[in-house]
Amino acid sequence: MAESPQDRAAWLREELQRHERLYYGEAKPEISDRDFDRLMAELAAIEEEHPELRTADSPTRRVGGEPTEGFEQVEHEPPMLSLDNTYDHGELEEWVERLARLLPDTDFDFICELKVDGVSLSLLYENGVLTQAATRGNGRVGDLVTANARTIRTLPLRLPAAAPARLLVRAETYMRRSAFAALNEQRAAAGLELYANPRNTTAGTVRQLDSRDVARRRLDVACYEWVQPAGDDGDERPSHGESLAALADLGLPVNDSWRRCKGLGEVVAYCDEWQEKRGDLDFEIDGVVVKVDDPELRERLGATAKAPRWAVAFKFEAEQAETVVRAISAQVGRTGAVTPVAELEPVLVAGTTVKRATLHNYEDLARKDVRVGDAVVIEKGGDIIPKVVSVFEERRGPESKPFAPPTECPVCGEKLYQPEEEALLRCVNAACPAVVREAIRHFASRNAMDIEGMGDWLVGELVGGGLVRDPADLYDLTVDQLADLKKTNDARLGEKAAARTVDSLAESKKERSLSRLIYALGIRFVGDSTAALLARRFRTVDGLAEASAEELEEVDEIGARIAESVRAFFDSERNQDLLRRLKEAGLEFEEEAAADEGVDRPLEGKVFVLTGTLEGMTRNEAGARIKALGGKVTGSVSGKTDFLVAGEKAGSKLRKAEQLGVEVLDQAGLEELLGGAGSCRAGP
């Protein structure tokens, strides 16, 4: 049976959100930027053809990367949008032509900058002092990491007297290759596992809770955007190039390789030049960012919900290298999927040593005809995921043989099977140690039950030592059991670390929402957003377990494939036993009543934009009151805006609202609207 658009869209949303979480939240990407963009384009096409399938939390409407728990959250104003990507000269030319269609008879000057491969930060200086640093998060809300940012030696803590009273800067924090190499040398000497690459290490470092650890890792930073008021003060705003020069004059670190380019030809020349020279740098870049220089033209071009129209990223071709396949092994995942992996002669690619490369599935392996002993070309897709690109068949010896896919699980020995309409082989043994290990890792992960200390090493020790067979066994662990486990350098885990893990397990019983528990169970096709939908609809695990496939399909965004998967999970006797034991362990199986249950949302569907200064409240506080009554707050005025709230010193947004005929509210009008709406309550 052909997959319905509804099922495909639901799967794409979950898959894209998973990859966003892996990239932005966990710094463990699994696919290249280009493959991610292809999935995003497919979802956008489905939503364009079937608008009824477009959801409020669709990845096509937002920037990915949820804030990490454990940090105070900061709301970005304006939001930190992502960039659209181009991958060749033709796509870059199409972008320039699109600008010309939007603003005919306009000459564009562009600023080209190196796209540093790191982690985005928003930096706020007030009266010359660095008062706030926040990660991008999901683009609207990020993690407050001021203490960590203050450890970056190249970032000034205080600016000269000439600095404006309030200065908001966007920047990229990163780790130089030399600093990364020194860090790995230290870890090797201590017998610790080496870090994979500078970008992932930066992502983990900036989220460290102890800023002393951050200081030891020698991060760097490059400022790339001065976020200036949209002409609210009446003064002419500087161009982007002028603002970069001004930031450098204030002592802020700005990469000095930027260049003003006139026309497509100069832009292409800059991109090609740095694609050739990127290996000469002491830091990693994965492309070039091209921006319109004129601030007035930027404002007229505006932005989509996800990205500014006035900027684009030109992504470099993946770096390639030649090496030899030593062996082809099999990897078993959480759902029992068995995938082939090429074990390689170590080779340096894009700044990191590569020893393994994905072969995706056995059909892909057969199509490429990769064999043990082959000389192959590998590349890092998006400079992240190593994969085999091609094989030098002419170099094969007479003894070379095609690789035969396994018929038994390489871990537990059970017979493998291939489901219809799937390219993957699967192990159906739920007790397979590899399946159990991945299920435990998923259950304990940050977006699931968030159990401290439950990393790869500890999970491997617990499963390998027979202490844990499924997630319910975790709640029987004691401090003594964990403390006696030995790490790779032969040191014990220790009582303090063991106690933290046991305390985190106890906390997870009552402090995790039902939706996170449903997600943690690892039901196939049920990601965190689908888990939230199921939790809101059924309110308890028992209610979900009793729901028929028909009742499940009545939930928005749940199609037949997801419904069948949920039903199959709860019909399994093994899973029923797991749920019984989790309940006996004391996990919370019911969703708490929503705080706003029984309250009308009279501003539902109304779109607000806030500008200027409000008396007695900040714009964030006003926005929170609007959202509590069902309204939506955005950062830019458009034809879809219902109300512009204009405080003192309102600027260009007020002018645009008046041009578009958007209703304008002063503070008294806003208070009246909120007061009247807030008094509307549901009856008894």
554-589 pLDDT, tens digit each:
886 688 888 999 998 999 898 999 999 999 999 989
- Please, which residues have CB within 8 angstroms of residue 640's CB and are 6 or more apart in sequence? 607
Residue 644 has pLDDT above 60, yes or no: yes
Q: Which CATH number fits domain 320-420: 3.40.50.300, 2.40.50.140, 3.40.50.620, 3.10.290.10?
A: 2.40.50.140
Cβ-contact 131, 146 below 8 angstroms = yes
Angle at 291 between CA 26 and CA 315, to 5 degrees: 50
| Res 508: pLDDT | 94
Length of the chain: 684
| Secondary structure tally for the chain: helices H, strands E | 24, 22
Q: Domain 607-678: give its CATH superfamily.
A: BRCT domain (3.40.50.10190)
Q: How confident is the model at residue 253 (pLDDT cuts 50, 70, 90)?
A: very high
pLDDT at 135 over 90: yes
| Beta carbons of 36 and 24 less than 8 angstroms apart | no
Give the CATH number of domain 74-315; options: 3.30.470.30, 3.30.2130.30, 3.20.20.10, 3.40.50.720: 3.30.470.30
130 near 279, Cβ under 8 Å? no
Decide if 574 contacts 435 (C-beta within 8 A): no
pLDDT in tens, 257-288: 999 999 999 999 999 999 989 888 999 999 99
Which architecture does CATH list for 5-61? Answer: Orthogonal Bundle (1.10)
Largest CA distance in the chain: 86
The owner of tokens 């069902």 is 630
CA dist 644 and 200 (Å) reads 41
- DSSP for 214-262, written as a single string: HHHT--EEEEEEEE--SSTTSSPPPPHHHHHHHHHHTT----TT-EEEE
Residue with tokens 């660095």: 130
Catalytic residues: 115
Q: Is-contact 57 411, C-beta < 8 A? A: no
Q: Which residues pair with 169 in a beta bridge?
A: 123, 226
Structural contact between residues 411 and 464, judged by C-beta atoms closer than 8 angstroms: no
- CATH 3.30.470.30 in the chain is located at 74-315
Structural contact between residues 271 and 288, judged by C-beta atoms closer than 8 angstroms: yes
pLDDT band at 680 (very low <50, low <70, confident <90, very high): very low
Per-residue pLDDT at 681 exceeds 50: no
Q: How many CB atoms lie within 10 A of CB 393?
A: 11
Strands 320-332 and 337-349: antiparallel
pLDDT recorded at residue 659 = 82
Q: Where in the chain is the domain with CATH 1.10.150.20?
A: 433-585
Question: Pairing mode, if any, of strands 311-315 and 119-126?
Answer: unpaired
188 — pLDDT class (breaks 50, 70, 90):
confident
Assign 192 to helix, strand or coil: coil
Q: What is the pTM of this model?
A: 0.57
Parallel/antiparallel/unpaired status of strands 259-262 and 220-227: unpaired
How many whole angstroms separate alpha carbon 135 and alpha carbon 479?
35
Q: Mean of the pLDDT values across residues 428-435?
A: 87
Segment 492-513, tens digit of pLDDT: 888 998 999 999 999 999 888 8
Beta strands across the sheet bearing 643-646 = 632-634, 607-611, 643-646, 663-665
Q: How many CB atoms lie within 10 A of CB 507?
A: 14
Closest CA to 82 of 134, 122, 136: 136
Strand duo 632-634 + 643-646: pairing: unpaired
Give, as one character, the DSSP assignment of residue 25. I
In whole angstroms, what separates CA 6 from the centre of its chain?
24
H or E element at residue 684: none
Lowest mean pLDDT among 224-238, 280-294, 353-367: 224-238
Q: Which two tokens stand for residue 641?
A: 């805006």
Domain with CATH 1.10.287.610 in the chain: 5-61
Q: Is the pLDDT of residue 349 over 90?
A: no
Neighbours of 71 (CB within 10 A): 17
Spatial separation of the C-alpha atoms in residues 290 and 84, rounded to whole Å:
11
The yes-or-no verdict on residue 33 having pLDDT over 80 is: no
Evaluate if residue 138 carries a pLDDT over 70: yes
User: Smallest Cα–Cα separation from 555: which of 564, 567, 563?
Assistant: 563
108: helix, strand or coil: coil
The predicted pLDDT at position 682 comes to 32
Q: Which residue in 417, 407, 367, 413 sits closest to 388, CA to CA?
A: 367
Place of tokens 């199921």: 534
Whether the Cβ atoms of residue 57 and residue 529 lie closer than 8 Å to each other = yes
Q: Left if phi > 0, otherwise alpha if psi is -120 to 50, otherwise beta: which for 661?
A: left
Q: At what angle do helices 5-20 and 528-538 cross, to 10 degrees?
A: 120
- Is residue 679's pLDDT more than 60? no
Residues 77/203/55/299 CA torsion (nearest 10 deg): 40
Question: What does the buried/exposed string (b/e) look like for 481-505 if buried means 16 or more CB atoms within 10 Å of the residue's CB?
Answer: ebbebeeeeeeebeeebbebbbebb
Cα–Cα distance measured from residue 432 to residue 331, given in angstroms and rounded to the nearest whole number: 12
For 433-585, give the CATH class: mainly alpha
